[in-house]
Structure 1
Amino acid sequence: MSNSLNPARQGSANNPLFAFTYYKPRNVDLNTYINNNINPVSGGALGSTDRNRYDPYGIGSFAYGLQNDNRVQKENNLLANIDVNIKILPWLSGLVRTNTNFYNIAYERKNRGAGIAFAGGDYEIFQNTNKSYRVQGLLNASKQLSSDFELNASIGAETYQKNLNNSAFYNRSVTNGGLKIPDVYSISNSLNPATTTAYPNFGERTDAVYVYGDITWKNMLTLNFSGRNDWSSALTYRDGHGNYSYIYPSVGLSWIFTELPVFQNNSILSFGKLRASYSYTGLSARPQQTNTDGYFKLQDGTFNNANGGNQSVYGFSDNILKNDDFKNELDKEFEIGTNLGFFKNRLNFDVAYYKKNSYNQILSFALPQESGVTSQALNSGNIQNQGVEVLITGKPIESRDFNWNASVTFTRNRNKIISLAPGVENYDLDLAFGNDITSVARVGEQYGSLITGYGYSYYQKKDASGNPIASPSNGKKVLGNTGYGTTGGYYTFVRSQDYDGTRKNLGTMMENYLASTRQELSYKDFSLSFQIDAKNWRFNGIWNSSIWIS
């Protein structure tokens, strides 16, 4: 159970740290406005009347919102499980496990009116509930097959069910147009008819059977294996068809070569292991996506046809074109690595290289407006991630009273969009700074390329045919007025998209590398530990790094 009051606002001007450091002038006494943010004449926020006099920088009105827009969120989470273990034979056992997860959020917002005499304001309440449970059965075998071979294997089945039979709901009510009576917080005090939204949360069910285990030879060569078959309701259509059954296997091999006689009693190399694996991982669709998107149905409203008659309107639900053949998303990953221990394992290295390709991701693509729909979700894409992971651990000092343990990690990932959908080269992911910067997936580039048309434009003189020619002004930033408001009506540096329509690639939101170190020191009953984390990006040729110490 948790209870949070007024969590920090997120996003641009709503976040206090961002607003006070980025949007507000440095030469203003912030406390003067923060502590006196109610208009002394008209009430409401400091800038509700005569803003140029009382709140020229908007700081008081911002502080008013922070202090008078109060939000409370209560979360209740019940987790429970029961395990029953059964000993069948000395080498064979059974397990029956069931668990449940009940999660509820209750939210209330009281937003005091910021207008004259505290006019306006909002009151909002909502609740969201989710319920799930899992039942699992396993048979586990652990048997010494011979003096050289040992087998550990499990076979099992399970069912996972969430929000079935309309057992979980979302409901939200919010006032509309302000409050009739200021500071009276109830839905019935809404100036205009309040808005209420309520619906059952989408249910889903996944059934599965699986097998996994390993076979070891002479405690040094181990073959790992697994296989799983899922049946997902999220890939099942109303009429019962669908690609709802999918299998994903994996296999791995590891060799502890220091078990060989030649490495016994080696004073330098204490442990050595080589490993390799190849795996498939399946992922289903969004719950009920196959049964909500794109169904042709009667819409609200009518229109007059050519004969003057009243005609009903039919269309696709949510203006989405239905996909009648969704498949599961699929990851394929290969990894090789080694574990090495030196000097009685006081110095250890764990190094791995991986390559992972993600296929059949379910993405929504925009369609031409004249088609009568706005988008269609498709299985698409091949996104590749490959890189290295390094973990170094050591014990520089080890004694009876004083010990020093250290670890260093380094990760470098290289991401590339191999393909999207047929005929699609770009896919917008997200926006930042309003619409200033767009994060996109572009074929042939890294995931999350940062594209903007708000960068400087640079002059290039051209001849009558549009060909570049020499000029002493070439390469200089362009000053001007676009004439339609984007430069505020005065001369300033012109954005590249306003000058020649170009948009620039600033780099990628993906890190160039991640690194961290953790140090632990202890002396008798006293201990001290700290951790340093670092990230590194490269934007438009400029290296950017961030370091955190905890």
Structure 2
Amino acid sequence: MRKNEKAFWLSLRASLTVFMMFFAFTLMAQNVTVKGSVKDQNGEPVIGATVKVAGAKTGVITNMDGEYMISVPKNATLEINYIGYNSKTVAVDGKSQVNIVLNESSTELNEIVVTALGIKKDAKKVGYAISTVKSDELIKTQSPTLGTALYGKAAGVDIKTAPGGAAGAISINVRGLSSITGTNQPLVVLDGVPIRNGEANNSDYWTDQRVNSNGLADLNPEDIESISILKGAAATAQYGSEGANGVVMVTTKNGKGGKGVGVTFNASVTGNFVAYMPEYQTTYGPGAAPQSRISSGADAYGFYTRNGSGRNGLTKNEYKYVSGTSYWGPKYDGSDVLYYDGTVRKFNPISSNPYSNLFRTGVDQQYNVAVTNSSDKGNLRFSYTYLNSLPNQYNSTFDRHNFALNGTQNILSNLKVDYSVNYMIENVKNRPYRMYRLLCNFAGMFGAFDDINYIRNSAITPSGYMNRTWNDNQQYEADVNSGYEYGFSSKSGLVDEYLWNIYGKTQEERNNRLIAKVAPTWDIMPGLSLRASLATDYTTNKRENKNSSDKALGFGTSGDYSLNQYRYTIIYGDAMLTYDKNLTNKLNLSAYLGWSGRRETLWDQTSATNGGLSVINWFNLNASSSKANTNVRELRMLKTAAFGGLTLSYDNWAYLEGTLRNEKISTLYKGNNSFWYPSVNASILVSELLKEQKPAWMDYTKVRASYGIVGLAPEIYKATIAYNQQQASGYIYAMQPNDLGNNEIKPERTYEWEFGVEGRFLQNRLGVDLAYYTKTVKDQILSTTTAWSSGANSILMNVGEFQNHGFEMALTGTPIRNKDWNLDLRFNIAFNRNKVNKLAEGVSRLEHKNWDNGAAYLYSEVGGSIGDIYAYAPKTDDKGNTIIDSDGYIALTDAPVKVGNVMPKYTGGFGFNLSYKNVYLDMSLDFRKGGSVLNLPYQYLMGRGSLVDSNKWRDAANGGQTYYLDNDNNVVPATSAPAGKVLYDDGVIFNGVTEDGKPNTKMASAQRWYNWSYNWGTGAPTYYSHSIFDNTYVKVREIVIGYKFPKAICDKIHATKLSVSAYARNPFYIYKRMPIFDAEATDATSWIEQSWIGGSSVTTRSFGVSLQVGF
């Protein structure tokens, strides 16, 4: 019986197996393999479109050519989807070839944006403004950093990049100021993880003059998919005490959008050419003004005489020469003069742009290779980018290696893991030096008669020591030909110092930075998921400073060596539970609840020699002449937060969201360090509400409103009373600081309302986004004067308040779109105004900066705007007439008066993308209206007589009038001079009235007026208001012309894409109010240090070519 039963079951199993195989074969026989392509209206392939059987959960994805292949039942219906395009269904009907054309969506309601905490949302659900810049906009001119790629592309976002190429810092300001004295740099979030950014302010005249960078400059544009800028408080409230300045959300590329393995290779070469430097007058050479020539030992023409030293084979006969750091000397006449190199040269200008000759043309070479892979199990992208940069400064090098790995792995059907690794290695030799001391000191300036190539090449003597331009090398160098025939620079040695910094000092720097994240997501059940992430941002920096000995040991010790090692670590983690459910067929609820924590630690150690090197150029701490010094600094910060959000949507046209964050931060005193940050936003889709009743020209319209509260916490240890370590007689002790913290300090708080309208019209040919915001910033953290009895000068308090409001408009348009031609336009503009409501009790004015011992000030005043510039200015009468003093010079105000404000009236950008078949032309520019800036080099160069502007009235050909000086040195107008007197032709009668109101008839010497009024410091007739300019400009940022090779050519080399392009960055200004220099030549991220210009490194315009190929 059992045998029969067993046989029965075996027979049944075999029969079932055969039946199932037959059934499966029958089903397969009913399937067909369908191939085809998916393209847009212009015939371009749609890469990454999903092709599936209607109703199925899975399908296939089109490749780099927009092609697909899928096995489906012969009577199936295909459904094709891609973001930004209308979905389409097509019946197979047994066909083996099905080609699909997708139409661009007129509503774009499926557009996905990245919001706070890395949450991706449909754009329709967002009730606040977000500006997004896509990857193709970031890399089309192969910028080594993000800064130049973002100019003018987001309304209300002001970008500044420090000159210095890839080594320079990036400053981003969103919607004006959010703090009077604190940082205004936004938080940077990479793939959902807050990372290190920071300030980079190089402003002090006396400290290190190298151009430094900040964390944002480390990010590689080649690896970035998009940048979303969250502007308002409602958008950034989930970042609490770091949300006041806006948030830059950076999303990296992850390999999605294709099937199988793909490879791309990009290469570019860029030349960075010196540009926008001061243009010098080439009419007059160095020397004293005519009125001072005789007294200074020169002849009436301005020439001096001296005996030659016999260097370079010259006789020791008497030669004429010119001397002085000012350019009020004789006219260039081509006569023979003794030059300071010991040779005889013609007295002709050598260069009208000497500072340009101080630098070389820089070259950037950048290469990127990326490998992608995508399948049902996940996707990944690995990328390597190598940047080799030859900086404009001589004796400098820069190279950077960026490695990026980003992807998603599907572990189970309901469990996936997102991961990303970004690793950067940066090697820098000699960061660029600022020109502050060369341009902002009368003794350090070059002139048109200076042979910059000779000076630069002679910076180091044959023995390897510093060459002194003031001609006292004899005591340091045996070679008689190594020094200068005579001095041409002041004994301050600023020229020598600058060149010695470049050639005699070496700073070798190596940076390593790792940003890594792992983030699993578990779909617990339909509508309920749990996401967690663990991340780190780990930076190490090692700097060795090897400063050569500038003289032999017999003349004393010199040179030094220092080693700085720096570690900055961020550990970040979060967990978030999300829930989504349709409560009814029209009402949907989505919510999230989570926790995050972040710990930051800094360790910084510097060891340095003391008293010079005991052995020439032995760069070791053991070479210290005295006991070497070591300083160690450690900082720690911990921040934790609990957060949540709830969104209700009704019938796909009404959305309401509320968020709440409770945050604790260690930079505030325990018991006073927990704060709440709420927000609410709402949006109504008018186009969905109207539905069939909407006008034909309306594709999509949304109105939105939001309110939020965000904060800005003080820097680490600023709010606490941290004692300073001191040392005396070998003993270490602690002292109370002069500026005290305050245990009651709380974060600065921003309360902001925002209202906006956005829409798409005329079949998506026109796009509009308008936003108005108003915010009040309370509890400003300011230092307040305290009684001397406290043992300190000031104490930190929450005392300030100001208001900020503005309007933003962004327009997009496509006036031309057909088979061959396409033209896309974009324009944005932003207005911002602020008003100071109050400062500390009894204080009506806050001083931010004092230039040149009271010559000019930067203030914020109650009732006024932040950033008023005050300076001495021409005095006027009740009718506005300029008052002229008894010497014929412009009279000045008795005290500094307001002469401008640093905040612009509006900023914006414009650009277009034009294509004809495979050829394309892209251009972008940005503009700024208003905002005053102090141009310090202009003040000094005018007083020195170097600039073209200083030629006005200098002689009869330039409008000067004739006069002679009487025995009391008074100016006497005349057409001829008495015997023994000299007739001068630089007379000027300034328009204005005398103190008694009569028209001025007093003649003055123009050269004296330039020399005295454009001087340093205070005291009539010196004043700085004529060097404060309206910084209005319109600047072309990018021009790109390129060619995309057709598919037929790509197929011959087995490529999926191939394109070449030529580009320009910062090629020219269309309009600029400020004379000399780039209008934004700043090397600071602080608005205070951006209020003046001219101390940065050299500025450039760039031209390059690039190649992009994909397989």
Structure 1 counterpart of 2:579, one-letter code: A
2:428 corresponding residue in structure 1: 4
| Offset of residue 157 of structure 1 | 1.0
Distance 1:507 1:22, change over 3 A: farther
Alignment partners' CA distance in 2, 1:271 and 1:478: 70
Structure 2 counterpart of 1:218, one-letter code: D
| Offset of residue 316 of structure 1 | 6.3
Structure 1 counterpart of 2:1035, one-letter code: W
TM-score, normalization by structure 2: 0.42
Give a deviation string over 1:326-385, Cα, whole Å, max 9, x none. 112211111111002220121111011111221112222344556531221111211221
Alignment partners' CA distance in 2, 1:337 and 1:96: 33
* Correspondence 1:380 to 2:773: no
The question of whether the paired residues in 1 share the 8 Å contact of 2:469 and 2:495 is answered with no
Alignment partners' CA distance in 1, 2:853 and 2:809: 38
Secondary structure of the corresponding residue to residue 327 of structure 1: coil
The question of whether the paired residues in 2 share the 8 Å contact of 1:77 and 1:101 is answered with yes
Alignment partners' CA distance in 2, 1:317 and 1:368: 15
| Offset of residue 457 of structure 1 | 5.7
Aligned partner (choices 73, 87, 90) of residue 509 of structure 2: 73
1:28 corresponding residue in structure 2: 450
Q: Give the structure with higher Rg (CA).
A: 2
* Correspondence 1:186 to 2:186: no
Alignment partners' CA distance in 2, 1:224 and 1:210: 14
Give a deviation string over 1:25-66, Cα, whole Å, max 9, x none. 233222221222235799423336438844413645532332
The question of whether the paired residues in 2 share the 8 Å contact of 1:149 and 1:216 is answered with yes
| Offset of residue 476 of structure 1 | 1.7
Consecutive unaligned residues in structure 2, runs of 5 or more: 1-424, 474-483, 933-1024, 1039-1111
Structure-to-structure mapping, 1:29-44, within 5 angstroms: 29-39=451-461, 43-44=465-466
Distance 1:46 1:264, change over 3 A: farther
Alignment partners' CA distance in 2, 1:123 and 1:434: 34
1:353 corresponding residue in structure 2: 772
Aligned partner (choices 1012, 1023, 1031) of residue 544 of structure 1: 1031
Structure 1 counterpart of 2:900, one-letter code: G
Structure-to-structure mapping, 1:473-484, within 5 angstroms: 475-476=883-884
The question of whether the paired residues in 1 share the 8 Å contact of 2:720 and 2:742 is answered with no
Aligned partner (choices 630, 634, 645) of residue 196 of structure 1: 630
| Offset of residue 279 of structure 1 | 0.4
Aligned partner (choices 567, 571, 575) of residue 133 of structure 1: 571
Aligned partner (choices 208, 229, 232) of residue 641 of structure 2: 208
2:908 corresponding residue in structure 1: 515
Compare relative contact order (CA 8 Å, sep 6+) and give the higher one, 1 or 2.
2
Secondary structure of the corresponding residue to residue 453 of structure 2: helix
| Offset of residue 143 of structure 1 | 1.3
1:463 corresponding residue in structure 2: none
In percent, how many aligned pairs have the same letter? 26
Give a deviation string over 1:160-181, Cα, whole Å, max 9, x none. 1122xxxx41101223333233
Structure 1 counterpart of 2:1031, one-letter code: N
1:91 corresponding residue in structure 2: 527
Structure-to-structure mapping, 1:520-531, within 5 angstroms: 520-531=913-924
Structure-to-structure mapping, 1:151-162, within 5 angstroms: 151-162=589-600
Distance 1:193 1:505, change over 3 A: farther
Aligned partner (choices 223, 232, 245) of residue 656 of structure 2: 223
Distance 1:415 1:95, change over 3 A: same
* Correspondence 1:147 to 2:585: yes
| Offset of residue 519 of structure 1 | 1.5
The question of whether the paired residues in 2 share the 8 Å contact of 1:459 and 1:477 is answered with no
Alignment partners' CA distance in 2, 1:130 and 1:261: 54
* Correspondence 1:82 to 2:510: no
Secondary structure of the corresponding residue to residue 183 of structure 1: coil
Give a deviation string over 1:166-217, Cα, whole Å, max 9, x none. xx411012233332333222222233333221132x1111111111132111
1:425 corresponding residue in structure 2: 844
* Correspondence 1:170 to 2:657: no
Secondary structure of the corresponding residue to residue 260 of structure 1: helix
Distance 1:538 1:328, change over 3 A: closer
The question of whether the paired residues in 2 share the 8 Å contact of 1:44 and 1:116 is answered with no
Alignment partners' CA distance in 1, 2:657 and 2:696: 30
TM-score, normalization by structure 1: 0.82
Secondary structure of the corresponding residue to residue 514 of structure 1: strand
Consecutive unaligned residues in structure 1, runs of 5 or more: 303-313, 461-467, 481-491
Secondary structure of the corresponding residue to residue 341 of structure 1: strand
Secondary structure of the corresponding residue to residue 66 of structure 1: helix
Structure-to-structure mapping, 1:133-532, within 5 angstroms: 133-163=571-601, 168-200=602-634, 202-236=635-669, 241-261=670-690, 264=693, 266-293=695-722, 317-367=736-786, 369=788, 371-431=790-850, 436-452=855-871, 455-456=872-873, 458=875, 475-476=883-884, 500=894, 502-532=895-925
Q: State which drifts further: 409-418 or 55-64.
A: 55-64
Distance 1:71 1:434, change over 3 A: farther
Distance 1:59 1:188, change over 3 A: same
Alignment partners' CA distance in 1, 2:576 and 2:458: 65
The question of whether the paired residues in 2 share the 8 Å contact of 1:55 and 1:61 is answered with no
Structure 2 counterpart of 1:476, one-letter code: I
Q: State which drifts further: 202-211 or 2-11.
A: 2-11
Q: State which drifts further: 102-111 or 265-274.
A: 265-274
Alignment partners' CA distance in 2, 1:545 and 1:82: 46
Alignment partners' CA distance in 2, 1:115 and 1:459: 56
Give a deviation string over 1:128-184, Cα, whole Å, max 9, x none. 111111121111111111111112211111111122xxxx41101223333233322
1:109 corresponding residue in structure 2: 545
> What's the Cα RMSD here?
3.5
Secondary structure of the corresponding residue to residue 448 of structure 1: strand
Alignment partners' CA distance in 1, 2:539 and 2:592: 31
Aligned residues: 501
The question of whether the paired residues in 2 share the 8 Å contact of 1:46 and 1:54 is answered with no
The question of whether the paired residues in 2 share the 8 Å contact of 1:220 and 1:256 is answered with yes
Give a deviation string over 1:477-518, Cα, whole Å, max 9, x none. 5869xxxxxxxxxxx98976xxx4x12323122222111112
Secondary structure of the corresponding residue to residue 544 of structure 2: strand
Alignment partners' CA distance in 2, 1:478 and 1:114: 51
Alignment partners' CA distance in 2, 1:11 and 1:60: 13
1:310 corresponding residue in structure 2: none
The question of whether the paired residues in 1 share the 8 Å contact of 2:667 and 2:715 is answered with yes
Give a deviation string over 1:194-248, Cα, whole Å, max 9, x none. 3221132x11111111111321111111112111000112213xxxx43111101
The question of whether the paired residues in 2 share the 8 Å contact of 1:513 and 1:536 is answered with yes
| Larger fraction in strand | 1
The question of whether the paired residues in 2 share the 8 Å contact of 1:457 and 1:477 is answered with no
Secondary structure of the corresponding residue to residue 235 of structure 1: coil
Q: State which drifts further: 517-526 or 387-396.
A: 517-526
The question of whether the paired residues in 1 share the 8 Å contact of 2:464 and 2:550 is answered with no
Alignment partners' CA distance in 1, 2:860 and 2:697: 48
| Offset of residue 536 of structure 1 | 2.4
Q: State which drifts further: 403-412 or 531-540.
A: 531-540
The question of whether the paired residues in 2 share the 8 Å contact of 1:242 and 1:326 is answered with no
Give a deviation string over 1:388-427, Cα, whole Å, max 9, x none. 1110111121122322211111011112211112122222
